[in-house]
């Protein structure tokens, strides 16, 4: 492990050095009609980076783009070179945990290795950033994550006013930062401690064991109740950093076609419809049940940890503000009333 401490100016210089050899993606403000949205994109200018709040979207669009042509994913991106590796700068605990979910499913699961994801992932370095403030919808710590630091990123940034601590946890990347002035470990420790103390408490807590017991809840009437206001669009899944469902298809014209891979959403009614026309998930409640169960039951049963990281984007972005925390509370109340199996496993 190596700790460095640099000024903003020095970081800018580092950025300019790194961009010669890497694609760099980071959260920048993007014009979206009347509003500006903080999103990850490939950039060329250090000063564009916004460090101080949670980006409105996760880096999913970088590590798992919505449309991928299996090899030519960022066509049209000015600051992306296919021959270079990519550094994603300023990724918070929640979004880092989400990359871990992707890795579990697409790389570490021996039964299937997704080459296109693996190739991209092998060429990606995540530089995490320590969270300083809770957004209204954040609840990563209620799910057991640490917003101050995640172990899953090889390099971590701690922003202290106009100075930056850089902690290099993976020796592999020490070369990149070697020339920088050394940082004081005790000072960093104190900063982390202070951050932790200042972090206000989440109003939400998950008080039931996971994996959630599927069999006891599958037929419950809570699903329709909690989705009474759901519109049935795909916003929660598209902006979710861990939702990875996708579709393959061929598209093209003039006798030529390209194989595409695009995001899909289990919240669309067409997602589960069979060729016969029968749809086993023919209501919003059944579709939302799948979304909750995948994150809190199926994923933890098959891998390690939950497939929800508590980033709160599904809450922020939902057109009717359907809150996954309320859904989890309803689940909890149902299980307590119905005397659910405490072990959480069937």
Partner 1 sequence: MSNYDSISQEISEIAKKLLKESKVDKVIGFGLGRFTKEITPIFIKKAEDADRLIFNKNCEMSLTKYLLNYKGEKVAIVAKPCDSRAINAYLSEDLIKREDLVIIGINGCPGIEGNTACEECNIRNAVICDYSVGQEMSEEEIQAEIEGFEDEIDKMNQAERLAYFQNEFERCTRCYACREACYVCNCEQCFTDSNKPKWLGESVKLNDNFTYHLMRGIHMAGRCVNCGACEMACPEGIDVRAFAAKMCSAAEEIFDYKSGMDPEQKTLLSEYKVDDSEKGFME
Residues forming contacts to partner 1 in the complex (CB under 8 A) are 32-35, 37, 66-67, 136-137, 203-204, 228-229, 231-235, 238-239, 247, 249, 251, 260, 262, 265, 268-270, 315, 317, 319-323, 325-326, 329
DSSP, residue by residue, 1-48: -EEEEEEHHHHHHHHHHHHHHEEEEEEEEEEETTEEEEEEEE-S-GGG
CA-to-CA separations, 49 to 6, 159, 164, 215, in angstroms, rounded:
16, 13, 14, 46
Smallest distance, partner 1 to C-beta of residue 322, A: 7
Smallest distance, partner 1 to C-beta of residue 12, A: 29
**Phi, psi (deg, nearest 5) at residue 91:** -100, 130
Residue whose CB is less far from partner 1, 36 or 215? 36
Q: Which of 245, 236, 54 is nearest to 140 (CA)?
A: 54
Smallest distance, partner 1 to C-beta of residue 31, A: 9
Residue whose CB is less far from partner 1, 84 or 233? 233
Residue whose CB is less far from partner 1, 265 or 331? 265
Compute the distance between CA of residue 63 and CA of residue 86 in angstroms, rounded to an integer.
10
Residue whose CB is less far from partner 1, 100 or 317? 317
Compute the distance between CA of residue 313 and CA of residue 344 in angstroms, rounded to an integer.
27
Q: Token match 């980006």: residue?
A: 55
Residue whose CB is less far from partner 1, 48 or 247? 247
Smallest distance, partner 1 to C-beta of residue 268, A: 7
> Is residue 213 within 8 Å of 344, Cβ to Cβ?
yes
Smallest distance, partner 1 to C-beta of residue 228, A: 5
């Amino acid at each position: 492990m190596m700790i460095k401490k640099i000024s903003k100016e020095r970081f800018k210089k580092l950025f300019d050095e790194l961009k010669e050899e890497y694609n760099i993606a980071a959260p920048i403000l993007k014009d979206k009609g009347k509003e500006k949205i903080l999103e990850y994109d490939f950039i060329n200018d250090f000063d564009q980076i916004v460090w101080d709040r949670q980006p409105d979207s996760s880096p999913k669009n970088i590590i798992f783009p919505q449309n991928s042509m299996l090899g030519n994913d960022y066509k049209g991106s000015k600051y992306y070179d296919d021959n270079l590796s990519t550094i994603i700068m300023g990724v918070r605990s929640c979004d880092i945990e989400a990359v871990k979910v992707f890795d579990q499913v697409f790389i570490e699961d021996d039964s299937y290795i997704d080459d296109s994801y693996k190739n991209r992932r092998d060429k990606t370095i995540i530089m995490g950033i320590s969270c300083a403030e809770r957004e209204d919808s954040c609840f990563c710590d209620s799910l057991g994550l640490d917003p101050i630091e995640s172990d899953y990123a090889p390099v971590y940034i701690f922003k202290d006013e106009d100075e930056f601590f850089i902690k290099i946890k993976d020796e592999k990347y020490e070369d990149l930062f070697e020339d920088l002035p050394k940082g004081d470990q005790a000072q960093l420790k104190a900063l982390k401690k202070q951050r932790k103390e200042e972090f206000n408490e989440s109003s939400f807590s998950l008080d039931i064991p996971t994996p959630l017991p599927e069999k006891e809840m599958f037929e419950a009437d809570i699903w329709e109740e909690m989705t009474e206001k759901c519109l049935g669009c795909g916003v929660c899944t598209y902006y979710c950093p861990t939702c990875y469902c996708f579709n393959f298809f061929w598209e093209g014209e003039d006798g030529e076609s390209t194989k595409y891979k695009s995001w899909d959403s289990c919240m669309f009614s067409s997602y589960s419809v069979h060729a016969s026309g029968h749809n086993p998930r023919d209501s919003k409640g059944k579709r939302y049940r799948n979304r909750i169960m995948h994150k809190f039951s199926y994923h933890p049963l098959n891998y390690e940890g939950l497939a929800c990281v508590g980033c709160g984007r599904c809450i922020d972005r939902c057109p009717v503000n359907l809150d996954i925390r309320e859904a989890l509370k309803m689940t909890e109340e149902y299980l307590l009333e119905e005397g659910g199996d405490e072990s959480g496993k069937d």
